Chain A
């Protein structure tokens, strides 16, 4: 379907597709097998300006929005979700600085992020804090001109590979959710080390590690926004980035769908290509319809957010929820359409199915997304009652 992309958006899509086809598709199986971080591809994306897509021009970026970022993420995800996760996690790590950072912080960090010279990671999750963000145990204590960080972050995407980390830590436990703050921590800071690299079911090209802070001292200026704003920073960041996860869902579903269609045209049973059988056609028809619906929702929400809408929690949760559930269903069905071949590592769809599962889990499980939507519905009805 034609979504009326403008000339520059088409350029972004086509170049992302070219990089995906030429640089990612040939190596994705090997990256998955070896759990190898895709540095060559990150460098190609950097050289082609993709890391600066959503960063304002004054900091060396292209000044585009979340919509253009979604287009790029979708194309990369069509080839490999492990690669697109490594790419998209940068935006997640950058949003706290972009949305709440001081002018000095933006000047210091954004140009390096935009050029791709330094990767970024966002660190919220801990052993006892994920869906329940208020469970964060990592602390940051102000001592003179420095904050002292202690604690362990878990399952951090781009952990170890990134050089800049935006970290949520508790500055005043007595204040509950208002007691958290966001910080910038650079790799190499004494007291900041990395734990084990996780061995994952999917997105194995991406790096997932623990971040360990042991009396890690950072300058006071590395506080993002004001003390106590940590949860607002985290929530607004996730509101912004969720459509990107939705775009990942659209992309991986599209990739699996294309593989299934091509296979169904080639594979012959009972003297005919299997695509000629209604049972297969109906599966493919459902897959195509679901993908198009997911894409339409993700694009609409991304454009809505870029328009400057204030509260986008519900819409971004819907885009993430719907598109990633579609991704799971479509990748499972792609394996089914391809039968025994689909189950084999020789074909890309079993990897896509393993990869897709994470989309229903990270950046807020799809159950949490439903909570967000539900809470928005309650708020909306309360407002209506007040108004009427």
Chain B
């Protein structure tokens, strides 16, 4: 079985600041990490490899420095890694990104494609499902448990607002995963040593036989009109004082609005 895990290198938002004038992220000097949801995707893939046997390939689209994320993925159990990088991809929105990723996945071939449910920098949750559409394969989003894989079929649980759905799909399939799925492992020493020596496979626009007009800024229908911080909701109240005092006030206020 071939499994591809799509990962994204993102700025560590725990340490990020917003430029107050442009309202954009100030990425300079901020450490880069693998998008946390993608670590759960990678862990799921590695566990399938351990249970059933599979070849796990980490795939990312990004600038050359995204290579470090791919090496990290290898240290956590990926067998190999592909960096999809080309100047022509610059300025891609989720549509153009998904288009390019789908091109790469088609070339590489996969029975299961894993993505994190969303990236913590853009938070759109679009790239996974869009990639499945470009590949013309089914997808299940928000996967919180993988029940079984057999006879070219997979059964998973999809997290819903209340409870979950049980979904069966034929392979190949694309899954986006939530953090409830598993606890990502630490890297291993053998993995880290392998990661250091690993050859990262490079792919560019020529390798994915892309339509030039569908790439990068040109292929991106999303136009950002303006970026602003949403107004904070009114009607909030901060309770202060010692724990007992706070509880008293809280009970009084909850009674006032008939919650108690």
Residue A49 lies at the interface, judged by CB distance under 8 Å to chain B: yes
Q: A44 to chain B: which residues have CB within 8 Å?
A: 185-186
Could you tell me if B186 and A47 are in contact, using CB atoms closer than 8 angstroms? yes
Contact with A along B184-226 (1 / 0, CB 8 A): 0111111111001000000000000000000000000000000
Given contacts A12-B189, A15-B187, 14 further A-B contacts (CB under 8 A): A7-B196, A15-B192, A18-B186, A44-B185, A47-B186, A47-B188, A48-B186, A48-B187, A48-B189, A49-B189, A49-B190, A49-B191, A62-B190, A62-B193
Could you tell me if A19 and B186 are in contact, using CB atoms closer than 8 angstroms? yes
Q: CA–CA, A11 to B197, complex, Å?
A: 14
Q: CA–CA, A93 to B91, complex, Å?
A: 58
Contact with B along A41-76 (1 / 0, CB 8 A): 000100111100100000000100000000000000
Task: Select one of A7, A47, A50 contacting B185, CB under 8 A.
Answer: A47
A4 to chain B, nearest CB (A): 19
Interface residues of B (CB under 8 A from A): 185-193, 196
Q: Interface of chain A, helix or strand or loop or mixed?
A: helix
Q: A53 to chain B: which residues have CB within 8 Å?
A: 189
Q: B185 to chain A: which residues have CB within 8 Å?
A: 44, 47-48
Q: Interface of chain B, helix or strand or loop or mixed?
A: helix
Closest to A62 in B: B189
Residues of A9-45 whose CB lies within 8 A of B: 11-12, 15, 18-19, 22-23, 44
Q: B186 to chain A: which residues have CB within 8 Å?
A: 15, 18-19, 22-23, 44, 47-48
Q: CA–CA, A18 to B192, complex, Å?
A: 13
B136 to chain A, nearest CB (A): 37
Q: B188 to chain A: which residues have CB within 8 Å?
A: 47-49
B135 to chain A, nearest CB (A): 32
Residue A8 lies at the interface, judged by CB distance under 8 Å to chain B: yes
Q: How many A-B residue pairs have CB under 8 A?
A: 33
Q: A48 to chain B: which residues have CB within 8 Å?
A: 185-189
Q: B191 to chain A: which residues have CB within 8 Å?
A: 49
Q: CA–CA, A62 to B192, complex, Å?
A: 12
Q: CA–CA, A11 to B189, complex, Å?
A: 8
Q: A22 to chain B: which residues have CB within 8 Å?
A: 186
A378 to chain B, nearest CB (A): 42
B27 to chain A, nearest CB (A): 24
Q: CA–CA, A72 to B188, complex, Å?
A: 13
Q: B187 to chain A: which residues have CB within 8 Å?
A: 15, 48
Task: Select one of A8, A18, A23, A47 contacting B193, CB under 8 A.
Answer: A8
Q: CA–CA, A261 to B181, complex, Å?
A: 40
Q: B192 to chain A: which residues have CB within 8 Å?
A: 11, 15
Closest to B195 in A: A11
Closest to A68 in B: B189
Q: B193 to chain A: which residues have CB within 8 Å?
A: 8, 11, 62
Q: A12 to chain B: which residues have CB within 8 Å?
A: 189
Q: CA–CA, A23 to B193, complex, Å?
A: 22
B132 to chain A, nearest CB (A): 31
A47, A48, A49, A50: residue with the most chain B Cβ atoms closer than 10 Å: A48
Q: CA–CA, A48 to B189, complex, Å?
A: 6
B185, B188, B191: residue with the most chain A Cβ atoms closer than 10 Å: B188
Q: A49 to chain B: which residues have CB within 8 Å?
A: 188-191
Q: A11 to chain B: which residues have CB within 8 Å?
A: 189, 192-193
A162 to chain B, nearest CB (A): 22
A52 to chain B, nearest CB (A): 8
Q: CA–CA, A48 to B186, complex, Å?
A: 6
Closest to B196 in A: A7
A-B contact pairs, 26 of them (CB 8 A): A7-B196, A8-B193, A11-B189, A12-B189, A15-B186, A15-B187, A15-B189, A15-B192, A18-B186, A19-B186, A22-B186, A44-B185, A44-B186, A47-B186, A47-B188, A48-B185, A48-B186, A48-B188, A49-B188, A49-B189, A49-B191, A50-B189, A53-B189, A62-B189, A62-B190, A62-B193
Closest to B193 in A: A8
Q: B196 to chain A: which residues have CB within 8 Å?
A: 7
B78 to chain A, nearest CB (A): 15
Q: A8 to chain B: which residues have CB within 8 Å?
A: 193
B242 to chain A, nearest CB (A): 18
Q: CA–CA, A157 to B167, complex, Å?
A: 48
A110 to chain B, nearest CB (A): 16
Closest to B190 in A: A49
Q: B190 to chain A: which residues have CB within 8 Å?
A: 49, 62
Closest to A18 in B: B186
Q: CA–CA, A23 to B187, complex, Å?
A: 13
A-B pairs with lowest CB-CB distance, top 9: A49-B189, A49-B188, A48-B188, A48-B186, A49-B190, A11-B192, A47-B185, A44-B186, A19-B186
B195 to chain A, nearest CB (A): 10
Contact with B along A210-232 (1 / 0, CB 8 A): 00000000000000000000000
Q: CA–CA, A65 to B207, complex, Å?
A: 45
B186, B187, B189, B192: residue with the most chain A Cβ atoms closer than 10 Å: B189
Q: A19 to chain B: which residues have CB within 8 Å?
A: 186
Q: CA–CA, A320 to B192, complex, Å?
A: 31
B111 to chain A, nearest CB (A): 25
